Amino acid sequence: FFHDQIMFILTVIITAVLWLIIRSLTTRHYHRYLIDGTLIEIIWTLIPAAILVFIAFPSLKLLYLMDTEVIDPALTIKAIGHQWYWSYEYSDYGTDTIEFDSYMIPTTDLSSGDLRLLEVDNRLVVPIQT
């Protein structure tokens, strides 16, 4: 829902800016007696600031709502991505932590139909109904 509102606002802004650019390039109209533009400078400073505030407050609210802590999770998996391999840790088994590394399979060892960047020697197994 929030994404749709932001896309609408950005579409209106981009359309207005493009229209103003095209209009200023194709016509030679200017105001002869416009010497001091304090009011217009205040307006084109406050309107973008208001738009940014309108975007920032709901996005910060969504950010803090997403940061909820799960109480008593059924399973905790810590996945760490290294440059050429993955490290996994299952830490829900008392004092013991199950750790293993998962390396990519070399291209020469791939079977027909295997995906080069997704095939690893130790796959992550997620138990069901835990």
pLDDT at 15 over 90: yes
The pTM of this model reads: 0.44
Residue 34's pLDDT is 66
Q: Is the pLDDT of residue 51 over 70?
A: yes
User: Domain check: are 27 and 61 in the same one?
Assistant: yes
- 13, 36, 66 - which closes a domain: 66
Interval 80-115: pLDDT, tens: 988 888 899 887 777 778 888 888 888 888 888 888
Domain match, 54 and 88 both: no
Place of tokens 């973008």: 48
| 7 and 42 part of one domain | yes
Task: Indicate if 78 and 126 belong to the same structural domain.
Answer: yes
**Could you give the strand order of the β-sheet that contains 85-93, starting from the edge strand earlier in sequence?**
77-81, 85-93, 96-103
Please check whether residues 61 and 106 belong to one and the same domain: no
Encode pLDDT of 109-129 as tens digits. Answer: 888 888 877 788 888 877 777
Q: What is the pLDDT of residue 130?
A: 62
The total number of structural domains that make up the chain = 2
> Which amino acid is it at 92?
D
Angle between helix 2-26 and 38-66 (nearest 10): 160
Domain housing 40: 2-66
